[in-house]
Chain A
């Protein structure tokens, strides 16, 4: 009997990716040897956490887990939208939770993740967890980046702590994507999920109800352009995120990581901006707060970013 790789090569060779016999896959021994060399190379090339943290302007908070924090003093201009100061967000939002109470701005937790894929299920991992909070007239975006799977558990522990601390989370499509995914990963990591979850304001649903009339779709990118008057420049398309994460893991290529963090930070800012727009007293009367002055949706950016409802079941 031939070895595993040869057998599989023969089988898959016929299975469509027809390969000439001359290009039969290398033997197991060859391949293992190559793998070992490569692993050594990758480890030599892969920046260690400290070095990466310095590059990204962050800190190492646990093995294989970095935190990058940025503050934006309020009010902050995000496109044509002013993200107002702490008090006004909550007041202006006239945010009313299910129990009737209005949360203080400090009680809000903006949340957005970058993931290894969009498929959902237990095998999809969130490797960037972006959390933004409002304190002392500033918007603080704290991003946790896993540099390896060992970092996942401490990252999720921080998430669980934050969920305990805040009364309301604000997401865009988090109800069906980010939160179920994080919860599944927490279960895999054997972490206890909060028995009582904070309230959850999913802006996708609110946006769809109040703003979307006349829009071609309800992606976050569309909402930015139409409702916030904000167009991203040099944004990493969301569709490229999974491949960038794989490149980092497999080849130690750290180059896309800063752009992934930027992308995620933009998402967090847009969450806050969108909340401000939705909170504006005129929204109910005039569903289109901003007439479509930004280039309409032909923008490739919007097209490439499929993380909106409707793509997934």
Chain B
């Protein structure tokens, strides 16, 4: 990014007018300043009005000691949602509470939990997705404890808990704060050690519910099944309390996670100040190449301006490296004098807990002017009130962006949130379509607890924990089938009416909640004789990123893969200074196995169902940075990746294709470009990481014989699964190219079916993405890399992709009008 930053002159390119005028104060002044200037950088704007708080009295039954502690801490009444949560929970209803950032959500569960502990030895288990959040939670309970001398014992229990303290936690803790991984591997498989705890367990709190989505969420759902099963053994039936940030379907997610009805508290009673949100697109600095100033330089400028105006500011970046660089830029300006206390701080994972605690305390006390953070500060953690939130690039989801914006907000004055778009295609799409983001309802979080592989993993773990009784239920497959299968494998044994675990293993150790089953690849840096693990790559993307010769990027620093040990799951890399990156050429062949649903019009047909996917990485391209020119090609020899999963697909009718395209080859190119756009939009709409979804263009129908990809020369080409080129003009069967998006997880994780339901929106937005991209012929931001020679073609890649998209949408010919 060097020359882009240079073009803007990071340290001196301050608007001259800012020097002439004394800095105005307050966030309104900041907005005014940001809006000045000739070039339109603000592409979207929305104002969320202030809202008054709604209060409720302490519930009549509240233990007087607890009420006293609250008053001691200055809490004289509750917010309406806290009281509502209390009413549900104390009535024994499983409850989900949806709360914006900093609305006092912890009291929603701490009140009933502490109250019951005070009144009669009830115990509670809290689960947070990270250790840092657990420690925060304990600190908060201890403060309340101290305020009222309540004598509640709250402990964290995680990998850091020393061995000799564990016993005390198990037997004496009123509240045990842990994480799903620890419950899975450390607590449930040893539940007899926790017998006292489980017997008295009355509440289970699962906070940050929105983070439990996709594969992780499906695992956690099964973990909840196991937890409830162990509780039944100890004759306890705890109430579950979920807390979630704003997502579209918190109640649905909680009910899926729990497998039963859940009461929902969705109206926050907490007051909130006025919020002013802006979408900011960096200016174009090189009109010829269409290169924009980096998001980093713009975020730095906005933050510096805010700090100068005396506004407490938080900057979110998406990688640790980015955090460090932004911090340096800001410190260079504000922390030059080492004798003065620092005004700028970085906050990210990888720091020592003491250092993080220190930063949090300074933030709360208002002793820092600006903090630069990764998503680490997106969750939980009380860091006091801030005025300005700058997002250095889109975090990937609307929910995540709103959560981060929620960090800024005070009762008395307007808070400002600025999304600074990067050059990433998604960001540029948002810059052009700010309503997508500002007016958006947040995404739906999806999980599939009965995903067969995940379910079987947890049936193994559950059988280890307690024998299965005949007729017992666990999730969505019939247990007799699952157990007979496991008996075949020799891990369980039926004795009378019970199935006992008999294998010599500890199944929880081979099941990781956070990744899929195949075993992650570790990336080992061997530069200068080192042997450091620098990254982990999950199985499904290893073939695409770790082939020998690949340039593997860690925080934008390039490493070259020297050797890939496929069976040992290791890639050995060496630091390099290549000016290119590599892009795998992979052929993905899909075969439709079963169609669950379809919809068609005259020109095209959309469907979804089960598919068999075979993916082969045949080679890779070397692509130079910035110019995106193809500077080389390499071969790859790796085993095929086979997978049975779910997919959504679009197929064009042969006669429509013949009408719209002069040659089949043109149509194929159009499909590849369309797939690129549709893939990006689908990831955006389904709250998925782009690699959670795979895409392919292939021969439609069950008898698929070819699949298409951009070949070594960058042109679309069709190949059979043997890798041999197939001439699509002469396949001897109807030409039915089909665009597939598939769930990139064996068995599928529930992404495909919702995409089918959203099929029109997906196409609408993909058309939007391509049609409104400022490029002329097509570019990596819309249809993928484009060859110079194609720019001269009669039918540009961009036009071809649009034609395909309109065709699939049932509006062929429309692109010629627009």
Q: Are A149 and B503 in contact (CB under 8 A)?
A: no
Contact A183 B192 (CB under 8 A): yes
Among residues 161 to 178 in chain B, which have CB atoms less than 8 Å away from a CB atom of chain A? none
Interface string of A1-39 (1 = CB under 8 A from B): 110110110111111101000000000100110010000
Q: Is the CB of A249 within 8 A of B496?
A: no
Q: Is A246 an interface residue (CB 8 A)?
A: yes
Quick one: CB contact mask for A274-289 with B, threshold 8 Å, 1 for yes? 0000000000000000
Contact mask for chain B residues 472-505; partner A; CB cutoff 8 A; 1 contact, 0 none: 0000011001101101101001011010111111
Task: Let me know if A250 and B493 touch, CB within 8 A.
Answer: yes
A280–B526 Cα distance when bound, in Å, is 55
Q: Does B641 contact A (CB under 8 A)?
A: yes
A188 to chain B, nearest CB (A): 6
A187-B195 contact, Cβ under 8 Å, with A5-B485, A121-B189, A122-B465: yes
Is A249's CB under 8 angstroms from B502's CB? yes
Segment 44-74 of A: residues with Cβ below 8 Å from B? none
- With CB as the reference atom, state the residue of chain B lying closest to A7: B452
Query: Who on chain B is nearest to A190 by CB?
Result: B233
How distant is B507 from chain A, measured CB to nearest CB, in Å? 8
Taking CB atoms, residues of chain A closer than 8 Å to B729 are none
Q: Is B23 an interface residue (CB 8 A)?
A: no
Interface residues on B, range: 35 or more
Tell me whether A150 is interfacial, beta carbon within 8 Å.
yes
Cβ of A85 under 8 Å from chain B: no
Q: Does the CB pair B746–A14 fall under 8 Å?
A: yes
Contacts of A122 in B (CB 8 A): 189-192, 464-466
| Number of residues on chain A facing chain B (CB within 8 A) | 41
Query: B625 near A: Cβ within 8 Å?
Result: no
Determine the chain A residues whose CB is within 8 A of the CB of B508 once the complex forms. Answer: 121
Q: Are A121 and B464 touching (Cβ within 8 A)?
A: yes
Taking CB atoms, residues of chain A closer than 8 Å to B691 are none
Residue among A7, A116, A121, A245 with max Cβ neighbours from chain B (10 Å): A121
Contact A35 B484 (CB under 8 A): yes
CB neighbors of A among B502-526 (8 A):
502-509, 517-518
* A123 contact set on B, CB distance < 8 A: 189, 463-465, 501, 506-507
Interface residues of A in 146-163 (CB under 8 A from B): 148-150
B10 within 8 A of A: no
Residue in chain A with minimal CB distance to B506: A119
Option from B482, B504, B507, B643 in Cβ contact (under 8 Å) with A14: B643
B464 touches A188 (CB 8 A): no
Q: Contacting A149 at CB < 8 Å: which of B452, B465, B500?
A: B500
Q: Chain A contacts of B506 at CB under 8 A? A: 117, 119-121, 123
Residues of B contacting A125 in the complex (Cβ-Cβ under 8 angstroms) = 500, 502
Shortest distance from the beta carbon of B320 to any chain A beta carbon, whole Å: 31
Q: Which residue of B lies closest to A4 (CB)?
A: B481
A297 interface residue, CB < 8 Å from B?
no
How many A-B residue contacts, CB cutoff 8 Å? 115
B456 at the binding interface (Cβ < 8 Å): yes
Contact A116 B502 (CB under 8 A): yes
The answer to whether B736 has its CB under 8 Å from any CB of chain A is no
A40 to chain B, nearest CB (A): 13
Q: Are B477 and A10 in contact (CB under 8 A)?
A: no
Q: Within the assembled complex, what's the spacing in Å between the Cα atoms of A120 and B146?
A: 39
Report the bound CA distance from A244 to B518 in whole Å.
29
Q: Which of A79-128 contact B (CB under 8 A)?
A: 116-123, 125
Q: Are the C-beta atoms of A246 and B502 separated by less than 8 Å? A: yes
Decide if B747 is an interface residue (CB 8 Å cutoff): yes
> For A243, what are the chain B residues with a Cβ–Cβ distance below 8 Å?
504
Contact at B642–A14, with CB atoms within 8 Å?
Answer: yes
Identify which of B495, B509, B517 contacts A148 (C-beta below 8 A). Answer: B495
* Complex contact B195–A4 (CB within 8 A): no
Q: In the assembly, what is the distance between CA of A35 and CA of B642, in Å?
A: 30
Q: How far is the CB of B290 from chain A (nearest CB, A)?
A: 42
Chain B residues numbered 522-538 whose CB sits less than 8 Å from any CB in chain A: none
Give the distance in Å from the alpha carbon of A182 to the alpha carbon of B517 in the complex: 32
Whether A119 contacts B495 in the complex (CB less than 8 A), given A4-B481, A10-B644, A187-B192, comes out as no
Are A11 and B502 in contact (CB-based, < 8 A)? no
Most buried by A among B189, B192, B477, B501: B192
A31 touches B496 (CB 8 A): no
In this assembly, does B35 line the interface, its C-beta being within 8 Å of a C-beta of chain A?
Answer: no
The listed residue (B191, B195, B504, B644) touching A242 by CB distance below 8 A is B504
The 5 closest A-B pairs by CB, nearest first: A123-B464, A117-B504, A119-B506, A242-B504, A187-B192
Q: Other than A7-B644, A10-B612, give 8 A-B pairs with Cβ distance below 8 A.
A: A8-B452, A18-B639, A116-B502, A121-B464, A121-B506, A123-B465, A123-B506, A187-B195
A–B complex contacts, Cβ < 8 Å, 28 sampled? A1-B610, A4-B452, A8-B453, A11-B746, A13-B642, A15-B518, A15-B746, A31-B488, A35-B484, A116-B504, A118-B504, A119-B505, A119-B506, A121-B190, A121-B465, A121-B506, A122-B190, A122-B466, A123-B501, A149-B493, A149-B496, A149-B498, A150-B495, A150-B496, A183-B192, A184-B192, A245-B502, A249-B502
